[in-house]
């Protein structure tokens, strides 16, 4: 049996970290794009779409991410569709991220005072023009800090995908523990790497929040 040195463990974990980062980025960007689409459906004037999006967000916010991963992984398998772990992981995380982002962003749009709608309407602007020139530019500024803050949740959420066999940081940790019998060293390092990923994000979120509060107008 080969002996793993500390550096071997660390190197293997860092290789796996790459997948955690990739999965986080895919989830965040994919979830962001889907979330944006859902946002327009949610705040639009249609009668049908907002309730549909509402049910969607309730479902994804009201069930554990783990169940969503299982359903994406095993559920589609029941229909004879062979889903590789990376696809199930990516799909579930994108849907999950979108469900949270759409609610964060809806809050930001609704935080814009009613007077802004009325003033722009009284100047003759259409709904789309109001959105484009008045509401969204203001909502965007409010939205940046909580959105960056939520990205921390996405990074930590990727850890669950280890359970369906996607080899990211946590899964690599489990494999290395089984090989080395040094759970404290391995998981300690895993935790430190997650922290190294998340801490800068939460700091950036905090910084942005402070900055937005000082100069919220520009």
Partner 1 sequence: MSLIAIEELRKSYGEVEVLKGINLEVEKGEVIAIIGKSGSGKSTLLRCINGLETINAGTITVDGAKLAEDEAHLRALRLKVGMIFQQFNLFPHKTAGQNVMLAQQVVKKTGKAEAEAMARKMMDRVGLAEKFDSFPDQLSGGQQQRVAIARALAMEPMALLCDEITSALDPELVGEVLQVVRGLAAEGMTLLMVTHEMAFARDVCSRVVFMHQGRVHEIGRPEEVFANPQTPELQSFLGVNRAA
Report the residue number, 11 or 132, with the smaller CB distance to partner 1: 132
DSSP 47: S
| CB 140 to partner 1: min, Å | 9
Report the residue number, 79 or 114, with the smaller CB distance to partner 1: 114
Report the residue number, 95 or 109, with the smaller CB distance to partner 1: 109
Q: Footprint of partner 1 on this chain (CB under 8 A)? A: 113, 115-116, 118-127, 129, 133-134, 137-138, 141, 216-218
Whether 16 and 168 have beta carbons less than 8 Å apart is answered as yes
| CB 121 to partner 1: min, Å | 7
Report the residue number, 127 or 181, with the smaller CB distance to partner 1: 127
Long-range contacts of 109-117 (CB under 8 A, 24+ apart): 109/39, 109/43, 109/135, 109/136, 109/139, 110/43, 111/139, 111/142, 112/138, 112/139, 112/142
| CB 103 to partner 1: min, Å | 23
Structure tokens at 11: 């190197």
Query: How far are the Cα atoms of 18, 23, 68, 155, 218 from residue 63, in angstroms, in the given order?
Result: 28, 21, 7, 18, 39
Report the residue number, 92 or 139, with the smaller CB distance to partner 1: 139
| CB 132 to partner 1: min, Å | 8
Query: CB 37: neighbour CB atoms within 10 A?
Result: 13
| Distance from the Cα of residue 119 to its chain's centroid | 35
| CB 77 to partner 1: min, Å | 48
């Amino acid at each position: 049996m080969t002996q793993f040195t500390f550096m071997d463990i660390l190197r293997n974990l860092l290789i796996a970290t790459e997948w955690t980062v990739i999965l986080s980025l895919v989830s965040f960007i994919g979830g962001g794009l889907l979330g944006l689409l859902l946002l327009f459906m949610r705040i639009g004037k249609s009668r049908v779409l907002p309730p549909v999006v509402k049910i969607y967000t309730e479902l994804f916010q009201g069930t554990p991410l783990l169940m969503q991963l299982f359903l994406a992984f095993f559920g589609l398998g029941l229909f004879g569709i062979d889903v590789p772990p990376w696809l199930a992981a990516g799909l579930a995380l994108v849907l999950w991220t979108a469900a949270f982002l759409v609610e964060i962003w809806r809050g930001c749009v609704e935080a814009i005072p009613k007077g802004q709608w009325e003033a722009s309407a009284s100047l003759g602007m259409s709904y789309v023009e109001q959105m484009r020139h008045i509401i969204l530019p203001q909502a965007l500024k409010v939205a940046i800090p909580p959105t960056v803050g939520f990205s921390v949740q996405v990074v930590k959420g990727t850890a669950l995908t280890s359970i369906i066999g996607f080899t990211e940081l946590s899964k690599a940790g489990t494999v290395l523990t089984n090989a080395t019998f040094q759970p404290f060293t391995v998981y300690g390092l895993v935790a430190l790497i997650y922290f190294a990923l998340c801490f800068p994000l939460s700091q950036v979120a905090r910084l942005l929040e402070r900055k937005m509060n000082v100069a919220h107008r520009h």
